[in-house]
Chain A
Amino acid sequence: MKVGDEIPELVKHPTTRQLVQYAGAQGDFYEIHYDQDYARSVALPGVILHGLLKAAFLGQLVTDWLGDRGTLKTFEVSYRGIDQPGRPYRCRGKVAKADGRNVELEVWGEDPDGNRTTVGSASVEMKGSA
C-alpha cells in the first residue's frame, strides 16, 4: 500500500424511498429530505440527501476496503454541495499517508457531473507489522 493508491470505489443509487428509510432510522425528520414542496420553499431544487447518509456511504467505502485488516480510528466528512435522489453517488478514496501501520485515506463522494460534494478523510490502524 502506497501513497496515491486508489481504493475500490463504491457507487450508491439513493432513492426518495431510501431518504425516508434513513430519516426513520436516524430519527432526522427535517422536511428537506422527504417533502418536495417544503424543500423548494427553502430554495432547494427538491429533496436532498442527508449529509450523514452520504457520510454513511463513505463509511461503507472505508469499511469495505478495510475489512478485518485493521481498525478505523477517525472519520471526517465535510459537505460541500447538495445531492438529490435518483442520481448515482460515486464514493472514492485514495491513500494520502502511509506510516507503518497508520494509514490515512482521502475520501470523497462525487455526483454524476464529477463534483466532489462531500470530501473527507479516514485514519486507520492496520493489524500486524505493515
Chain B
Amino acid sequence: MASSTAVLDRLRARIGTTAPPISATVEAGHLKRFAEAIGDPNPRWLEEAPPTYLVALVPASMHLAEAEEYGKGWLNGGNRFEYIEPVKVGDRITAVGRVADVYEKTGSSGTLLFIIFETEYVNQHGRPVARLRGTAIRR
C-alpha cells in the first residue's frame, strides 16, 4: 500500500484539474422521486428543483480513485450551494467539476484527508444556475 504522503502528493497534483462536462435533463419523474425520497411534499417540487436536487442530477464530485488508498472510508464534510437561477423541469444542465483543494488535517480523531470539489451548473441557455462547493473527507 502506498504511503499516505505519496497518495497526498498525487492528489495534490490534481488541484485545479477539471472533470469532463456532464449534461443531464431535469426529468419530471426523477424530480418527483427525489422529492419523495427526501420526504418533502411541497407541490412546488413537481416543477422546480428543491435546494439540494442538483447533486442527484449529475455526480456531485469527481471520482478520484487514488483517494481510496488513503484511510478506510469517505465522509461528507459539508456542502455549500449558491443559487443564481431556478432549475425547472425540462432544463438541460451541464456540470463542470474541479478539484479546488486537497490537504491533510490532524484533529482529535487522527489525521484526515480533505478534498474540496467545486461544481458549476450551466443551463441550456448558457447561463450559470448554481454553484456547489463540497468537502469530501477520507478517514
Asked if B76 and A79 make an inter-chain contact with CB atoms under 8 angstroms apart, the answer reads: yes
Asked if B51 and A73 make an inter-chain contact with CB atoms under 8 angstroms apart, the answer reads: no
Q: Identify which of A1-9, A51-59, A97-105, A108-116 touches chain B.
A: A51-59
Is B4 on the interface with A (CB-CB < 8 A)?
A: no
Which residues, 24 to 48 on A, are CB-close (under 8 Å) to B? 24-27, 30, 32, 42-44
Is B90 on the interface with A (CB-CB < 8 A)?
A: no
Within 8 Å by CB of A52, from B30, B72, B76, B80, lies: B76
Closest to A48 in B: B75
Asked if A64 and B42 make an inter-chain contact with CB atoms under 8 angstroms apart, the answer reads: yes
Is B13 on the interface with A (CB-CB < 8 A)?
A: no
Asked if B33 and A24 make an inter-chain contact with CB atoms under 8 angstroms apart, the answer reads: yes
Q: Which residues of A contact B7 (CB under 8 A)?
A: none
Q: Mark B3-46, 1 if CB is under 8 A from A, else 0.
A: 00000000000000000000000000010011011111010100
Asked if A76 and B79 make an inter-chain contact with CB atoms under 8 angstroms apart, the answer reads: yes
Within the complex, the shortest CB–CB distance from B17 to chain A, in Å, comes to: 23
- CA separation between A76 and B25, bound complex, in Å? 25
Is B107 on the interface with A (CB-CB < 8 A)?
A: no
With contacts A25-B56, A26-B55, A55-B52 taken as known, whether A60 is within 8 angstroms of B38 at the C-beta atoms is yes
- CA separation between A128 and B107, bound complex, in Å? 46
Interface size on A, residues (CB 8 A): 35
Asked if A60 and B76 make an inter-chain contact with CB atoms under 8 angstroms apart, the answer reads: no
Is B73 on the interface with A (CB-CB < 8 A)?
A: yes
- CA separation between A24 and B81, bound complex, in Å? 22
Asked if B83 and A18 make an inter-chain contact with CB atoms under 8 angstroms apart, the answer reads: no
With contacts A52-B52, A79-B75, A79-B76 taken as known, whether A24 is within 8 angstroms of B37 at the C-beta atoms is yes
Within 8 Å by CB of B60, from A22, A52, A63, lies: A52
Within 8 Å by CB of A60, from B50, B74, B75, B79, lies: B50
With contacts A22-B38, A42-B73, A56-B38 taken as known, whether A71 is within 8 angstroms of B83 at the C-beta atoms is yes
Task: Give me 30 A-to-B residue pairs in the complex whose CB atoms sit less than 8 angstroms apart, sorted by A's number.
Answer: A12-B39, A24-B37, A25-B33, A25-B36, A25-B37, A25-B56, A26-B55, A27-B59, A30-B74, A44-B73, A51-B76, A51-B78, A52-B52, A52-B55, A52-B76, A53-B38, A55-B79, A56-B50, A56-B51, A60-B40, A60-B42, A63-B44, A72-B83, A74-B80, A75-B80, A75-B81, A76-B78, A76-B80, A77-B78, A79-B75
